[in-house]
Structure 1
Amino acid sequence: MKIKRKLEIAVISDVHLGTYGCHAKHLLTYLNSIEPKKLILNGDIIDIWQFSKRYFPKSHLKVIKKIMTMASNGVEVIYITGNHDEMLRKFSNTTIGNISIVDKAVLDLHGKKAWFFHGDVFDVSIQHAKWLAKLGGYGYNFLILINRLFNWYLDKRGKARYSISSKLKNGVKGAIKYIHDFESVAAELAIENGYDYVVCGHIHQPKMEHFENKNGKTIYLNSGDWVENFTALEYQFKRWKIYNFSKDKLTPFSIEDEFNDLEYDNLNYLISAITIVDKPSNKKSN
């Protein structure tokens, strides 16, 4: 019996379908575990920059099919364009069924304003030297491929996985400064424009942090990626949480943690509010 968790919003970004670094099977497992009202795809879902007919495995196609199935079943899918799928920007503000393509989105969440966008608008290398950014993208993709082979070896030896690119990023002062500047600029713009939440992707760094200055305050959120971190953002019970596939598995929201913040009459109502039970089909599989 499969149990799916009900969510108001799930946010994923930086999946990079069509590249060796994409962990499509992990993402598919996650998508099969949730039942969101809204699914926000916050950029770089399909890596058109590095798309190749030679590499687009079935697992990557299954992710696309799953998203389409979710939309056909009533889930509102908001596709926010990023730099790696920027070709879709020519279709911005297009809606087909339950799927809409936009460059940014603003949602009202229980009286609070949430601003969603990918984040490449802050990247000077993309805005002014796109060829250099693409070259860097190919180098990153190669590094991820090497890292994947390395982790395959570690898995065989029963040892913990290791992220070479994360180690490099965390050890380079310039990279740390870039990430900090990205987060600060996004938060300051959100405060300036009166947004309670600002939700980004792009830098592959899952994060939730409160920012405050003399003009106000906001919560900065980043959904991370499905190349290294395998993370998503989830909104339920009027609060956000970072979902981590490697750590949380399929139970990131705890009933005990949330119960005191809710005004429900009984525990049974709460349990029914966060789960959907799919009964096993009677049809025999071929």
Structure 2
Amino acid sequence: MAKREIDLLVLSDIHLGTYGCHAKELLQYLKSIKPKAVILNGDIIDIWQFSKRYWPTSHMMVVKHFVGLIAKGVPIYYIPGNHDEMLRRFKGFQLGSLRICNKLSIKLNGQKVWIFHGDAFDVVMQHSKWLARLGAVGYDTLILINRFVNFLAQKMGRGKISLSKRIKNGVKSAVAFINKFESTVCEIAASNDYKYVICGHIHEPVMKTMVTEHGPVSYLNSGDWIENLTALEYNNREWKLYRYNEDPVAQAVALNEKQIRKESHKELFNSLMAEMKLAK
């Protein structure tokens, strides 16, 4: 199968190591494309909730896929988020084509683009980390409940629902927080002459133009791989919001289910280390 070429791919909020992560679907998507550069914009591995008891082979295979891209020389920029914030101490680290940075400023088609995870603008994160961690555990539990509810709904011939989306959309304070988040980052971006600002963090995939006192700014959020299964793609001088659920090509990508079930973590780890040597 010919892979779809992409100039720049932005992914965030994958949350590897949690029950809610759709690693298999992400693998299908990654195997259907050929990006020239990748930006991993935070919360890729959920270190907050990382547990040796839950690290499926499919999650390790996602890591292996990224390492394979590094071995091929594809530039990958890793911008840590709040769930993988311990990696921020390695700012400036480089391994082959991999670079860790806390934010990224680039130019595309002559226009400045500001890319960062977004938790720096989260008041809860800044002042009550314990509360944010508690909320993360609650969110993961809700996702598990949601999967069980959808399993029953499908058995009854009904469509899927998102409990967390219904809760977020039904709580005025949550909607107000998202609106405030978007307007704040756009005001700061415009005041620094950025035409685009790209975030993750709030799991709300969107592309829109925000009007500020310093002029219009294009606000883009790559969403997540817990509920929305979305990414941002830049190709032919245009941004596009990718949605896995609307991509029959990626959904048709065959994964080696036997390998996913049987290949041991040790075998995958040894394979990953071999590719890391190639990257060096």
Q: Same fold (TM over 0.5)?
A: yes
The aligned runs of 1:28-107 (5 Å cut-off) are 28-107=27-106
- Find the aligned partners of 1:122 and 1:116 in 2 and give their Cα distance: 13
The aligned runs of 1:245-284 (5 Å cut-off) are 245-250=244-249
1:45-81, Cα deviation, whole Å (9 max, x unpaired): 0000000000000000000000110121121111101
- Find the aligned partners of 2:106 and 2:151 in 1 and give their Cα distance: 41
Please give the secondary structure, in 2, of the residue aligned with 1:3: coil
1:156 maps to 155
CA positional deviation for 1:36: 0.8
1:22 maps to 21
Q: Which has the higher helix share?
A: 2
1:261 maps to none
- Find the aligned partners of 1:250 and 1:234 in 2 and give their Cα distance: 16
- Find the aligned partners of 1:15 and 1:153 in 2 and give their Cα distance: 25
CA positional deviation for 1:237: 1.0
TM-score normalised to structure 1 length: 0.85
1:154-199, Cα deviation, whole Å (9 max, x unpaired): 3334432110000100111000000011111111111011111100
The aligned runs of 1:212-227 (5 Å cut-off) are 212-227=211-226
1:11 maps to 10
- Find the aligned partners of 1:70 and 1:115 in 2 and give their Cα distance: 24
The aligned runs of 1:111-190 (5 Å cut-off) are 111-190=110-189
- Find the aligned partners of 1:232 and 1:201 in 2 and give their Cα distance: 10
1:197 maps to 196
Quick one: structure 1 residues 122 and 249, their matched pair in 2 at CA, closer, same or farther if it must change by over 3 Å? Answer: farther
Please give the secondary structure, in 1, of the residue aligned with 2:139: helix
CA contact (8 A) 2:73 2:96 kept: no
CA positional deviation for 1:214: 3.1
- Name the amino acid aligned to 2:169: N
1:239 maps to 238
What RMSD over aligned residues (CA atoms) do the two structures have, in Å? 1.1
Q: Which has the higher strand share?
A: 1
- Name the amino acid aligned to 1:247: E
- Find the aligned partners of 1:139 and 1:24 in 2 and give their Cα distance: 20
- Find the aligned partners of 2:248 and 2:114 in 1 and give their Cα distance: 27
- The gaps in structure 2 that reach 5 residues or longer are 251-280
- Find the aligned partners of 2:247 and 2:75 in 1 and give their Cα distance: 25
1:100-136, Cα deviation, whole Å (9 max, x unpaired): 1110001111101111000000111111111111011
Please give the secondary structure, in 2, of the residue aligned with 1:55: coil
Please give the secondary structure, in 2, of the residue aligned with 1:52: coil
- Find the aligned partners of 1:158 and 1:82 in 2 and give their Cα distance: 38
- The gaps in structure 1 that reach 5 residues or longer are 252-286
1:205-264, Cα deviation, whole Å (9 max, x unpaired): 00101012231121000000000000000000111010000023448xxxxxxxxxxxxx
TM-score normalised to structure 2 length: 0.87
- Name the amino acid aligned to 1:208: M
CA contact (8 A) 2:43 2:80 kept: yes
